[in-house]
Structure 1
Amino acid sequence: MRLLIIGFLCIFYSCATTKKAINDAEIERFKNIVSNENIELEFEWAKPTALLTNVQGIQNLLPNGSSVGNINLIGNPNYFRIYKDSLAIELPYFGQQQLPNGYGNRENGITFTGKPEKKEIFYNKDKQQYTLKFWARSKEDSYVFVVELFPSNVSYLYVNSTNRTNINYDGSWQIITKEEK
């Protein structure tokens, strides 16, 4: 029994320590890409922080493979584009509106096009990760967007809004080419 436990611990330890080594050239390329700020993020999962459990039957309305806390976005157009000094955002939203503004005058998703009011960029050398933080204001909402980018093209987005519950997105990022602009 003791030998079996030690064997499992060795397997788990070896799995936990296997990490893709990223060389210095790849890190420099990653830093150059982020400093040029022509990046598009596309998301595969939406994760509402306020679970949608108070609406009976909501599970039946979600896409296949989804749960109330993890919604599949594959096949659902979405993007978060970062250009030098501006953003273009079109994201589906799943959550609760906190302050109603009346009927029919509210967008369903999270949309924004323009220059953010403020932005900050941080690089975490230990995690080999960039964190980009944007403050933006639309007609009806104020947003704080926190983007995490990794050299493996993995991205995370955390959205905090004044009028809606928070939501997170998981996906990937790529460079925006001249044709796409």
Structure 2
Amino acid sequence: MKAYFVLFVFVCISCSGSQKIVSPTPKSRALDALVEKAKFEVTSDQASPLLTSSMAAISNSGLLGNGNSAGNINLIGNPNYLKVEGDTISADLPYYGERQMGGGYNSNAGIKFKAVPQNYSLTKNETNQQYQINFQISGEGAENFTISLVLFPNWKSSLQINSSQRTPIRYSGEVQALKEK
């Protein structure tokens, strides 16, 4: 009976999840310097809108173009950015999805803002060397955004945007140093 107990404990210990610790690399240290200076830009190459029946209908009609689907749209060649310059954050991103309310004539179809964010938080996960940036910001008109940005040590990014007037959307892209003017 004691042998079964020892075997059970051994199996439990060996099956327990272990976190793989990622050692800092020159590339991740360079990202640390960018984030510390608060001078970087995220350019997205892929948008992943919330898959709704309306987005599926647009995809089925062929309006999204070759290689795109209702849940995955290629942004390569489509200018877009999210810039962090000190305490100001600005963005100009294309939007694919459903607008729930608001908008109107002559309103911007994309996601645009330039302001000082509220409830800004920046945390670094030392285990996997990635940054999590969360904030809320006001856009053009009465639209408000809740943003979650993850910066990975290989300079890739994941940007989640929740809006007060639109369905959520996620962008995947790359981080780069802000070009000096």
Query: Same fold judged by TM-score > 0.5?
Result: yes
TM bin (shorter chain): 0.7 to 0.9
Query: 5 Å matches for 1:106-117?
Result: 106-117=107-118
C-alpha spacing 1:127/1:51, structure 2 compared with 1 (3 Å): farther
Contact 1:52 1:95 in 2 (8 A): no
Aligned-partner Cα distance in 2 for 1:23–1:30: 10
Structure whose CA Rg is larger: 2
Decide whether the 8 Å contact of 2:51 with 2:70 is kept in 1: no
Whether the 8 Å CA contact 1:155–1:172 is kept in 2: the answer is yes
Question: What aligned pairs does 1:59-78 form with structure 2 within 5 A after superposition?
Answer: 59=60, 60-78=62-80
**Structure 1 position 78, deviation (Å):** 0.6
**1:79 is matched with which residue?**
81
Aligned to 2:37: 36
Query: 2:122: which partner in 1?
Result: 121
- For 1:56, what is the secondary structure of its paired residue? helix
TM-score (norm. length: structure 1): 0.79
User: Residues 66 and 24 of structure 1: is their aligned pair in 2 closer, same or farther, counting only changes over 3 Å?
Assistant: closer
Query: Once the two structures are superposed, what CA deviation does each residue of 1:105-135 show, in whole Å capped at 9, x if it has no partner?
Result: 4310000012112311010112210011121
Structure 1: gaps spanning 5 or more residues:
1-18
RMSD: 2.1
Report how far residue 51 of structure 1 moved.
Answer: 3.2
**Shift in Å at residue 38 of structure 1?**
0.6
Q: What is the letter of the counterpart of residue 72 of structure 1?
A: N
Q: Distance in 2 between matches of 1:177 and 1:125?
A: 28
Distance 2:101 2:51 in 1: 15
Match of 2:94 in 1: 92
AA at the equivalent of 1:46: A
Rate the CA distance shift 1:142–1:64 in 2: closer, same or farther, 3 A: same
- Could you give the per-residue CA deviations for residues 147-172 of structure 1, whole angstroms, max 9, x where no partner exists? 11012110010001111000000010
Q: Partners in 1 of 2:55 and 2:76 — Cα distance?
A: 25
Q: How many residues align?
A: 159
The alpha-carbon deviation at position 65 of structure 1 amounts to 1.3
Question: Residue 171 of structure 1 corresponds to which residue in structure 2?
Answer: 173
- In 2 relative to 1, CA 97–57 (structure 1 residues): closer, same or farther, beyond 3 Å? closer
Q: Distance in 2 between matches of 1:134 and 1:162?
A: 14
Cα drift, residue 49 of structure 1: 1.7
Q: Which residue matches 1:132?
A: 133
CA, structure 1 residues 54+80, in 2 after alignment: closer, same or farther (shift >3 Å)?
closer
> TM-score, structure 2 length as denominator?
0.79
Identity of aligned residues (%): 31
Contact 1:52 1:68 in 2 (8 A): no
The ranges of structure 1 where at least 4 consecutive aligned residues each deviate by more than 4 angstroms after the TM superposition are: 52-55
